Amino acid sequence: MPAKRLATDAINRLAQRLAGTVIGPGDAGFDEARRVWNGMIDKTPALVARCANADDVVAAVEFARTHGLLVAVRGGGHSVAGHGTCDDGLVIDLSPMREIRVDAVERVAAVAPGANWGEFDRAAQAHALAVTGGIVSATGVAGLTLGGGIGWLMRKHGLTADNLLGADLVTADGQVRHVNPEQDAELFWGLQRGGGNFGIVTGFRFRLHPVGPIVLAGWVLHRQEKAHEVLRFYRDYVANLSIELTTIVILRRLPQLPTLPPFLHGMPVIGIAVCHAGVIEHGERAVQPLRAFGPPMIDGIALKPYVSHQTMFDAAQPPGRRNQWKTAYLPELGDEAIDTLVAAARSMPSPLSVLAIYQLGGAAKMGDAAFCVNAAASWVDSRDSEANAGWTRSFATAIEPCSTPGAYVNFLGDDGQQRVRSAYRENFDRLLALKRRYDPGNFFRLNPNIDPTR
Ligand SMILES: Cc1cc2nc3c(=O)[nH]c(=O)nc-3n(C[C@H](O)[C@H](O)[C@H](O)COP(=O)(O)OP(=O)(O)OC[C@H]3O[C@@H](n4cnc5c(N)ncnc54)[C@H](O)[C@@H]3O)c2cc1C
């Protein structure tokens, strides 16, 4: 329903019911409230309900149902597909709900759905604890967790969702459910992989692990001309790597950041970034071959606070730029995949884009995938959109023969229903049964959607 047809008194009643605020077109702050991380997304909702607590979320869900409004659920706003906002509907914005409580004795954290990884990491690291989290600190805990969650600790401690102990969930019927493996194992499983399809989480409970607070982490950098050799070395290096070490390969031009010496600005590089989640001496041994190979142009692996490693990529991923991603799973890093990745890196139209290869394995299980790759195009000027979108599409086509079915749902863009379905792989039918049970009307559809009507 378009904004103009929502009666003012209905909006006022919602505003009175909420502890949080309601923002509509014309209100101060509306432009900021409708925006998300990806500057490609330019949508105008009828209303934004900034919820302050779970009762507000119930009220917002009831309001949307009564008025037949499309609903977008927003945690940290980092969905590259732009699922955190919408045209003409209601944005249920959880960003005011940021409370984080850490029980250091039980090693458990209760996290509200508007918190981001920077906030959560800092709270947990105050007790030298952590759970696998996103590698850019402004990313929302909520969306990342509900799609799986990959990050620096994953090969030792599993995906973020594997560490979920329970969640409070508001379903499409407005009911509040306390979901955990003991009381509702099936719905709990669905929350761990279903990407927001089953309702709105108003509180997460996570298991935490001892981590740091000082870890051995950073990256080695090589010039991109050596990318073939580096990737062949990397393939052998990770084949029997300790699960305490998680690695991510980055191919890009180095950004113009004050933290980097000017001679590196704009230089095409291949970096192998690492984080060791164990005894430091073991880490030193594990990274030794990385430091020896080449040798690297820069060896930036050092002892540092885990929270600082978790912000290593922040400055290169600011909000507001235009972004389009294409992702794939690789069963191995074969020669053809290496050729494809290097060719894609060399043909990036934008100096802001990144090609990333995330090493899975150990406790980070995603079917038979050994690596998750993501071609993340990023640019500023709308005149460059076609060239950059074309680059991601060409990459998707070129990498397809080397890939294994499925995709990481949190990296999907607007890829179409068939791609979403195949992303869920063998879980799809089970997720579909759950969706039909808890959300038969597809009230929560702005997500990697499991359409219950199909
Ligand atoms: C710069 C950047 C870095 C990233 N790095 C990583 C990374 O290291 N690891 C990784 O795994 N992913 C990463 N991602 C992907 C990220 O996991 C997804 O974009 C995720 O959706 C972000 O969550 P959010 O809460 O910020 O997003 P939002 O856009 O707010 O939410 C995305 C979707 O999640 C669902 N959702 C959000 N909150 C709730 C809730 N409380 N209840 C129910 N559903 C909800 C909704 O469907 C919503 O549309 C990154 C993304 C970006 C842009």
Taking the centre of ligand 1 as the mean of its atom positions, its distance from the CA of residue 140, in whole angstroms, is: 6
- Residue 180's φ and ψ, nearest 5 degrees, are -150, 170
The residues, ordered by sequence, that sit 6+ positions from 4 with a Cβ below 8 Å of its Cβ are none
Among 35, 57, 74, 91, the mutation site with the greatest number of ligand 1 atoms within 8 A of its Cβ is 74
**For ligand 1, atom 23: residue with the closest CA:** 143
Q: Which atom of ligand 1 is nearest to the CA of 197?
A: 47
Please say whether the beta carbons of 132 and 151 come within 8 A: yes
Report the share of the chain in percent with pLDDT over 70: 99
pTM of the model: 0.97
For the ranges 83-97, 116-130, 201-215, 253-267, which has the lowest average pLDDT?
Answer: 253-267
Rounded alpha-carbon distances, angstroms, from residue 413 to 332, 389, 392: 24, 11, 11
Which amino acid appears at position 1 of this protein?
M
Please say whether the beta carbons of 66 and 116 come within 8 A: no
Taking the centre of ligand 1 as the mean of its atom positions, its distance from the CA of residue 42, in whole angstroms, is: 18
Q: How confident is the model at residue 4 (pLDDT cuts 50, 70, 90)?
A: very low
Please say whether the beta carbons of 170 and 176 come within 8 A: yes
Q: Which atom of ligand 1 is nearest to the CA of 94?
A: 41
CATH number of 100-210: 3.30.465.10
**For ligand 1, atom 16: residue with the closest CA:** 144
pLDDT per residue over 295-322, tens digit each? 999 999 999 999 999 999 999 999 999 9
Per-residue tokens: 176? 């509040």
According to CATH, the topology of domain 214-404 is: Vanillyl-alcohol Oxidase; Chain A, domain 3 (3.40.462)
Number of helices (H) and strands (E) in the chain: give both, helices first. Answer: 14, 19
- What is the CA 232 to chain-centroid distance, rounded? 28
Q: How confident is the model at residue 257 (pLDDT cuts 50, 70, 90)?
A: confident
Answer whether residue 374 shows pLDDT above 60: yes
Taking the centre of ligand 1 as the mean of its atom positions, its distance from the CA of residue 77, in whole angstroms, is: 7
Per-residue tokens: 222? 């090589």
Per-residue b or e along 382-401, where b marks 16 or more CB atoms closer than 10 Å to that residue's CB: eeeeeebbebbeebbebbee
Which amino acid appears at position 226 of this protein?
K
Answer whether residue 345 shows pLDDT above 50: yes
Q: Which atom of ligand 1 is nearest to the CA of 198?
A: 43
Average pLDDT estimate for 237-247 = 96
Region label for 266, one of left (φ > 0), alpha (ψ between -120 and 50) or beta (otherwise): left
- What is the CA 138 to chain-centroid distance, rounded? 10
Beta bridge partners of 206: 109, 164
Taking the centre of ligand 1 as the mean of its atom positions, its distance from the CA of residue 247, in whole angstroms, is: 21
Please say whether the beta carbons of 133 and 310 come within 8 A: yes
Taking the centre of ligand 1 as the mean of its atom positions, its distance from the CA of residue 76, in whole angstroms, is: 6
Answer whether residue 202 shows pLDDT above 80: yes
What's the rounded Cα separation, in Å, for the pair 124 and 163? 14
According to CATH, the topology of domain 3-93 is: 3.30.43
For the ranges 3-7, 8-12, 237-241, 249-253, which has the lowest average pLDDT?
Answer: 3-7
Per-residue tokens: 231? 């990737």
Among 410, 411, 443, the mutation site with the greatest number of ligand 1 atoms within 8 A of its Cβ is 410
Among 73, 99, 135, the mutation site with the greatest number of ligand 1 atoms within 8 A of its Cβ is 73
**16: part of which helix (H) or strand (E)?**
helix 8-17
What's the rounded Cα separation, in Å, for the pair 177 and 171? 8
- Residue 57's φ and ψ, nearest 5 degrees, are -65, -40
Pocket residues: Cβ below 6 A from ligand 1? 36-37, 73-80, 83-84, 94, 113, 134-136, 139-140, 142-144, 146-147, 149-151, 195-196, 200-201, 317, 410, 446-447
Taking the centre of ligand 1 as the mean of its atom positions, its distance from the CA of residue 79, in whole angstroms, is: 5
Among 155, 114, 162, smallest CA distance to 138 is for 114
Please say whether the beta carbons of 89 and 64 come within 8 A: yes
Answer whether residue 43 shows pLDDT above 60: yes
Q: Residues 108, 366, 329, 341: is their CA dihedral positive or negative?
A: positive
Q: How confident is the model at residue 49 (pLDDT cuts 50, 70, 90)?
A: very high
What pLDDT was estimated at residue 105? 98
Reduced to 3 states (helix: H, G, I; strand: E, B; else coil), residue 180 is coil
What pLDDT was estimated at residue 6? 82
Domain ranges of the chain: 3-93, 100-210, 214-404
Please say whether the beta carbons of 310 and 337 come within 8 A: no
Taking the centre of ligand 1 as the mean of its atom positions, its distance from the CA of residue 255, in whole angstroms, is: 24
Taking all residues of the chain, what is their mean pLDDT, rounded to a whole number?
A: 96
pLDDT per residue over 316-342, tens digit each? 999 999 999 999 999 999 999 999 999
Tell which wins on pLDDT, 417 or 3: 417
Answer whether residue 48 shows pLDDT above 80: yes
Taking the centre of ligand 1 as the mean of its atom positions, its distance from the CA of residue 275, in whole angstroms, is: 22
What pLDDT was estimated at residue 277? 95
Taking the centre of ligand 1 as the mean of its atom positions, its distance from the CA of residue 12, in whole angstroms, is: 30
What's the rounded Cα separation, in Å, for the pair 197 and 146? 9
What's the rounded Cα separation, in Å, for the pair 120 and 137? 9
DSSP 445: -
pLDDT per residue over 438-447, tens digit each? 999 999 999 9
What pLDDT was estimated at residue 417? 87
Taking the centre of ligand 1 as the mean of its atom positions, its distance from the CA of residue 251, in whole angstroms, is: 23
Q: What is the biggest distance separating any 2 CA atoms in the chain, rounded to whole angstroms?
A: 69
Answer whether residue 376 shows pLDDT above 70: yes
Q: Which residue has the tokens 């940021």?
A: 98
Among 79, 131, 275, the mutation site with the greatest number of ligand 1 atoms within 8 A of its Cβ is 79
Q: Which residue has the tokens 């969702």?
A: 161
Taking the centre of ligand 1 as the mean of its atom positions, its distance from the CA of residue 388, in whole angstroms, is: 22
What's the rounded Cα separation, in Å, for the pair 127 and 166? 21
What's the rounded Cα separation, in Å, for the pair 446 and 119? 26
Average pLDDT estimate for 152-162 = 98
Q: How confident is the model at residue 1 (pLDDT cuts 50, 70, 90)?
A: very low
pLDDT per residue over 65-82, tens digit each? 999 999 999 999 999 999
Average pLDDT estimate for 55-66 = 97
**For ligand 1, atom 49: residue with the closest CA:** 83
